[in-house]
Structure 1
Amino acid sequence: MRRNLLYGSWVVSAVLVALFVSACNESKNPSNDDDFVRVVVDTDPPVKPLSPEESMEKVQLPPGYHLELVASEPMIQEPVALTWDGNGRMFVAEMNTYMLDASGTGQYEPVSKIKLLEDTDGDGVMDKSTVYIDSLVLPRAILTIGDQLLVQETNVQHIWSYGDTDGDGVADTKKMVFRNDAVDSRNLEHQNGGLIWNMDNWIYPTRDNLRYKYKDGVLVADTLVDNMIGQWGITSDNYGRLFYSEAGPGLPAVQIQQMPAYGALNFIDQYTVDFTIPWPIIGNLDAQGGEKALRPEDNTLNRFTSGAGQSIFRGDRLPADMQGDYFIPEMVGRIIKRGKVLNKDGKIIIEDVYKEKDWLASADMNFRPLNTYTAPDGTMYIVDMYHGIIQESEWTGPDSYLGKVIAEKGLDKNKGMGRIYRVVHDDFERDTTKPNMLNESAAKLVTYLDHPNGWWRDNAQKQLIVLNDQSAVPDLKKIALGEQGGLKSKPSNLARIHALWTLEGMNAIDKGTLYSAMEDADPQVRKAAIWISEMYVKKNDAEVIDKLASLKNDTSADVRIQLFLTLRTNKTETAQQTVSELLAANPDNELMQVSYKTFLDKQRALEEELARVKNLSPEHRALVLKGATIYNQLCASCHGPKGRGITVAGSSDMPAPPLAGSPRLKGDKILTIQLLLSGLTGPVDGKEYADAMPSMAAQDDEWIAAVLSYVRNSGDLGNNASVVTPEEVKEVRAITGVPRGGMTLRTLEIMKLGRAENNNFIGK
């Protein structure tokens, strides 16, 4: 789905994964495949919907790869996300009201659904469907835990758990597992777009500054240092490293260098320039940026605009060179891009696998890949919303470029469909084993921790923690130490890491097991042990901190970086001395050095902000603090965390102008209020930017006052001006029309001149 003015951080990560598939099944480097040629099919393609079979014929994939249909309309409609439970049953979230016309009419009506799909005969095609949950408002964040399905809807921040007690495929229990009564007034694209139970046993959403632990059937929240700004989808690699993406500003990978608990960290070069360039095979005339977003020779998209639904492939039934690669759909381009994840001294870099072509490209105008997943059968699944309009109504007004394209081509007529595909390869057969984890013993679940498919390992770990059967602990400890422990052979390094984290999740880890793992031959096992040891570090356990200090000369950059992060906030002399020695001994380690500087800057900024607002009245202080939250959740994505703008992969172009030190923000209140109410288009100080800023008129007066008060008073932005009150916003709203398509700066300045002698205006 697409857009919006957010554009946040960027970062790239992932450690190259152990390959489980035998060497005889390994394919050659796909980027060297001369038989794989990009062919542009049509510069002005037809928009008539195609059958699933016809649509699959329109897809270009590398030799050997093919699509298989798993499910389609009328069984599913407007699918946006899916998840499987431990028994392999598929739950599909449908946004049945998304952009049914260019105005988004009825979008928030409670008629969306979550379907339960099953393949009863084992042929790989879904043949049974029930409406598991009805009457929802645009759900897309779903996660199974045991026999429960967690769901978050649009515009609310509660998370609910649903269950089916009588086995009829329809949820009959509903329980609130996380409560937050605040209404989420952000555009739906900027709300939470996914949930993942990660290897570290925390549940992460795509956005904001929370993560959760599942305890006694409810979610217990933990507040993070920074707001995460991912949008559609979240994924992790074999070692628990998270990958987010940002659709609005076209950032194909963000927050991939370190875990959210340590703060946001992104590098401009965390992915190559090539990885930000799509290579579609049809003209993408419905790109929000219009002609400037298209190649003049064939009308194909020339830059990333709407990446979402990314995944690290961790299956075992596709070529081994796919293992650990990063896949991200671009819905406007109708492509899925494939990146190779490289670890360079702990810093993650994503490189484009193909030169001037993409792993998957469709010539079907309605193909809208929104999410990708490693599946229980070892292959990759793709969720295709198959929808005409993929941009939100802020960009599709009747006078906008997109609105005119939609009206001309009738894209609003293409709705009520949807497909789920399986990607297969000629050299592999999918795994037809039907999972049965919800009914199996803890001893059996332990054996799956060494499965070659990451989906099985993840779900076995999760189910073991949910069951909390302590009889599994002895075998788990043996596996963690490299012993057989109920497995058919000695465990792989990945099995040992999963065993360590499973013990942590079951509150059964002990110092001896961690100490042994810290001396392991595999650096990722050592890293996991250090990471887990934070439970002791937080308690100032001197024995554990001394043991960690002895690891400061580890040969692995990953291990040294984790040690640095684990000890960084501990105030004991030993911990701080170790951190200082690590920094001194690793002067060329960019990640460690930049991470520490960012950490110190964050601490300093927090202290300065508190000092700045302490002299404000309680009412104004609350307004500024609320504005800081809004800015970090929304505005920082395009304007940068400190208001200095954002660049992508070394480019000088920015999605939005910098705000730091802006004379407009420090000056006339009315102009800035009008700017937020109307939106802004056209050049700013003579420079064009990638996207127009949409109108914020739908937000209430306090919201607009809060964010303006923050940007006018933020030390990070170098501003020190008076606050804006809700009453002032109300007055300006009453006398300011909201023109379609937004105002230009020139229009705002002319309006300012027109009121220069009018004493009835505030902030004159």
Structure 2
Amino acid sequence: MKKAIWSILASASVSLILVTCQVSKKSPNDAPANVQEEMSFATPRTVDQNPSPAPLSPEQSLRTFRVPKGYRLELVASEPMISEPVALTWDGNGRMYVAQMETYMQTVDTTGEHVSASRVMLLEDTNGDGKMDKSSVFIDKLMLPRMVLCVGDELLVNETDTYDVYAYKDTNGDGKADQKRPVYKLGKKSPGNLEHQRSGLDWNLDNWIYVTVDPVRFRYVNGQLKPDTLINGSNGQWGLTHDNYGRLFFSRGGGENAGSGFQINPAYGQLEFRDAYIDSTFGAVWPIIKTPDIQGGLKRLREDSTLNHFTSGNGQSIFRGDRLPQTLVGDYLINEPVARIIRRAKVIANEGKTTLENAYQQEEFIASTDMNFRPVNTYTGPDGCLYIIDMNRGIIQEGTWTGPDSYLRPQILRLGLDQNKQRGRIYRLVYEGITPGPKPQMLTESTNKLVTYLDHPNGWWRDNAQKEVIVRADQTVVPILKQIAQGEQGNLSRKPGALGRLHALWTLEGLGAIDKEVVQNALKDQDAQVRRAAIWISEPYLKKNDTALINALAALQNDPSYDVRTQLLLSLQYSEVPQAKEIMNHILSANAGNEMLTSVKKTIEKNTEIRKFGHKLGNLDAASRKLILNGSITFKSLCATCHGGDGKGLPTQIAPPLVGNFRRMMEKKEAMIKIVLHGLTGPVEGKTYPDMMPPMGTNDDEWVASVLSYVRYDLGLSERGFGGNLSPEFLSRVIVTPEEVKKARDQTAGRTKTFTWEELEKVSQ
């Protein structure tokens, strides 16, 4: 892992159509008459070759942005009201909660980083001008809070170094939390430094709450988060979002991957395509500022001194609002804080497969010449506009990348970037002639009123109305929800659109009020995404081998939508009824040349193999089994970011593959331990990679032993034909014990430099 924290702090279903947001009524923000005008810039892109590293005032920073014609950034909040912001969420009444990592990289040596001195701020706009004018410290003395989610009148918060999630509540209206209760308590320390831990808490359309890194998702039930294990691991690093139809978008900044995990929901496994980017140059970035502070050194720069490729993609969102041009709705937005830019990409469905394409040619949607502009998260807001969190600081990279022998440290010290801290800005993007929407009041409105928002043109309103109805568990609205799901007017002002019907279905599912009749009706809906959702929702029936419902699904096996056919494959795998397999076989034979459908088949088969992997582990002793299982989780959530989930590397070739030419190092246990403890730099097997393997020695001996045991057992020696040999002698060669790690750690104590390939070649074992 590497580079900016937000690259490392830095799938829902199947291929979906995301080019535009289907709404039930005409949106107040019709697209500009000339779409090309909305996509164009007033001036050519030029690069500032002499940017000042000095901090700018918010007003000065606003003048540094380059955005397309018609767009404008407005300041929502800044220091001293906020400091080191990293994530935010709104409650049902539109109040903003901001998580702040106030001890993050306060010095180049990370002094005092893990002190519980961070806060969550509560901000309010009391006069409706879009700028926050009231603030309070909602929660104090936190350890680098990293995930926040409003649920009813409570705020869920997760801190760094722990898996635990607590709910906080203000009972007397003074803007400060005075009640705290656990909603998920694992009671153990989260391994790894703060770069390698989770983000998210994204309440998706399917009523599961997703996070990055860890192979788990949650269901909010009776005030508690109930976990569900993801058999093939999770995805991503810093940042998680979903679209109108429940597709999750992850990113793996450490692997220089500006988007991942968006082909299928992680509950079904992992599926990636090497050509998921339509343009082979999608990874290239186009800053308007000279970029001296890059981890990879001069090879990461163009001739004009700008960053040449994504190095820390993070904080992504799908824009789903109703107060910016319709041409932006459904587009994918992702930050690159080292480049000081925000990428805009079109999300395109291609025969079931989803691809991303830069919306501009050698341009970026938002770019700044402010050297301290550090975008780390983006959101669709209650007012229908786009919100951007700017950490606004000098150092964005975590301490692992700013060590004494790093390329970064002298750049940071030369420019004085270590002095630029304890600030932060929140901006909103607006468009000329379009007025931001009104402030919600969902927490005080009736459940019946909330139901009407399920058909709202702003995705934020639809999502939060669905969530609040479910949290209230108010069964009185079930009859109205069934009417809306079937396309009837119910309590709406007009018949619902496709998105209204979709949210009504999932709200019924969340209330435990879905029934087979509603599902079967939805399977006949004119909208493909509603039909696909009905298949998805039918899975509990399929697991019970409900033949009547399987017969209904058979009518969709030749559906014109690839999304529907893909969902049939994903959902029917849960049924043991022969007809379910017949439908799957028919789809596969009728679409033998379709890459998406054939790849889904392989993913399902891989999941079966992973389930069998448990039997393979059953032959190991308990200690070895524990190491490999724990190592598997870490590898899939962390190491796979750079080395690929199968150990064969990534298309970006950011790091060496762990199989193939590199495998002979696998047999050298001591050498592998030293790589993990102290890192690896320089050419490997004669090939140069963009950056070094970072030292992971801050993790304890058992963590290092578990990762290496998994790699050596599952990816290394077993590839050479030893996989079936489980003799004690073989296992002693493969398994890395904590004692062996300690020995190597003691031998290399005091070493401050990373190893080179040439040094490790001389290690005998």
Aligned to 2:630, the other structure's residue is in SS state helix
How far apart in 2 are the matches of 1:4 and 1:287? 14
Q: 2: CA distance between counterparts of 1:609 and 1:471?
A: 45
1:541 aligns with 2:546: yes
Equivalent position of 1:760 in the other structure? none
Deviation at 1:623, TM superposition (A): 2.1
- The Cα offsets for residues 154-196 of structure 1, whole Å up to 9 and x where unpaired, read as 0100111111111111011111111212311212122111211
2:631 is matched by which residue type in structure 1? G
Task: Tell me which residue corresponds to 1:718.
Answer: 719
Q: Does 1:59 align with 2:65?
A: yes
Q: Structure 2: which amino acid aligns with 1:192?
A: R
Hey, what's the Cα distance between the residues in 2 that align with 1:7 and 1:71?
Answer: 23
Give the whole-Å Cα distance in 2 for the aligned partners of 1:624 and 1:361.
44
In structure 1, how many angstroms separate the alpha carbons of the residues matched to 2:416 and 2:659? 39
**Matches of 1:744 and 1:723 in 2, distance apart?**
24
Q: In structure 2, what is the equivalent of residue 15 of structure 1?
A: 17
Gaps of 5+ in 2: 723-732
The residue type equivalent to 1:56 in the other structure is L
Deviations 1:304-349 (A, max 9, x none): 0111111111111111100100011100000000001111122111
- SS of 1:310's equivalent in the other structure is strand
* CA distance in 1: counterparts of 2:10 and 2:599, whole angstroms: 18
Query: In the TM superposition, what is the alpha-carbon distance from 1:233 to its structure 2 partner?
Result: 1.6
Q: 1:48 aligns with which of 54, 71, 74?
A: 54
Note if contact 1:369-1:385 (Cα within 8 Å) is conserved in structure 2. yes
CA distance in 2, matches of 1:474, 1:307: 44
Deviation at 1:590, TM superposition (A): 1.2
Aligned to 1:391: 397
User: Residues 478 and 10 (structure 1 numbering): CA distance in 2 closer, same or farther, change over 3 Å?
Assistant: closer
Q: How does 1:456-605 map to 2 (within 5 A)?
A: 456-605=461-610
Does residue 688 of structure 1 match 2:696? no
Matched, 1:253 2:259: yes
Equivalent residue for 1:640?
A: 644
Structure 2-normalised TM-score? 0.94
Match of 1:624 in 2: 628
Share of identical aligned residues, percent?
50
Write the letter of the residue equivalent to 2:671.
L
CA distance in 1, matches of 2:287, 2:678: 34
Q: Do the aligned partners of 1:110 and 1:137 also contact (CA within 8 Å) in 2?
A: yes
For 2:322, the aligned partner's letter is D
> What letter is aligned with 2:431?
H
Residue 34 to residue 709, structure 1, CA distance change in 2 (3 Å): closer
CA–CA distance in structure 2, aligned partners of residues 48 and 175 of structure 1: 43
672-681 vs 252-261, greater mean Cα deviation = 672-681
Give 1:199-348 correspondences, 5 Å limit.
199-271=205-277, 272-296=279-303, 298-348=304-354
Give the aligned residue type for 2:635. Y
Partner of 2:668: 668
1:177 equivalent to 2:183? Answer: yes
* Offset, 1:9: 10
- Could you tell me how far apart the structure 2 residues matched to 1:421 and 1:34 are? 21
Contact kept in structure 2, 1:145 and 1:466, CA below 8 Å: yes
Amino acid at match of 1:683: P
Q: Given that residues 88 and 376 in structure 1 are in contact (C-alpha distance below 8 angstroms), is that contact kept between their aligned partners in structure 2?
A: yes
Shift of residue 539 of structure 1? Answer: 2.0
Offset of residue 253 of structure 1: 0.6
Q: Distance in 2 between matches of 1:203 and 1:10?
A: 11
- CA drift at 1:588: 2.2
The runs of at least 4 aligned residues of structure 1 exceeding 6 Å deviation read 4-12
Higher mean C-alpha deviation, range 132-141 or range 267-276:
267-276
Q: Is the 8 A contact 2:10 2:253 kept in 1?
A: no
2:113 is equivalent to residue 111 of structure 1:
no
Q: How many residues align?
A: 746
- Secondary structure of 1:351's counterpart equals strand
Tell me the SS of whatever aligns to 2:569.
helix
- Residues in 1 aligned to 2:596 and 2:470: alpha-carbon distance in whole angstroms: 33
Mean Cα deviation higher: 90-99 or 529-538: 529-538
- 1:42-87: CA deviation from partner (whole Å, max 9, x where unpaired): 2242100000010010000001111111110000000111100000
| TM-score, structure 1 as length reference | 0.94
Structure 2 CA distance for partners of 1:609 and 1:441, relative to 1, 3 Å: closer
Which residue in the other structure is 1:742 paired with? Answer: 754
Listed as ranges, the gaps of 5+ residues in structure 1 are 757-762
Instruction: Name the CA distance, whole Å, in 2 between partners of 1:571 and 1:336.
Output: 47
Quote the Cα distance in structure 1 between the aligned partners of 2:640 and 2:12.
Answer: 12
Instruction: Give the CA deviation at 1:31.
Output: 8.4
Q: CA deviation at 1:604?
A: 2.6
Aligned to 2:726: none
The DSSP-based 3-state class of the residue aligned with 2:113 is coil
Check whether the contact 2:558–2:565 (CA below 8 A) recurs between aligned residues.
yes
Corresponding residue of 2:153 = 147
Cα deviations by residue, 1:215-255 (Å, 9 ceiling, x for unpaired): 11001111112222211221111111111111111111110
Contact 2:85–2:389, Cα closer than 8 Å, also in 1? yes
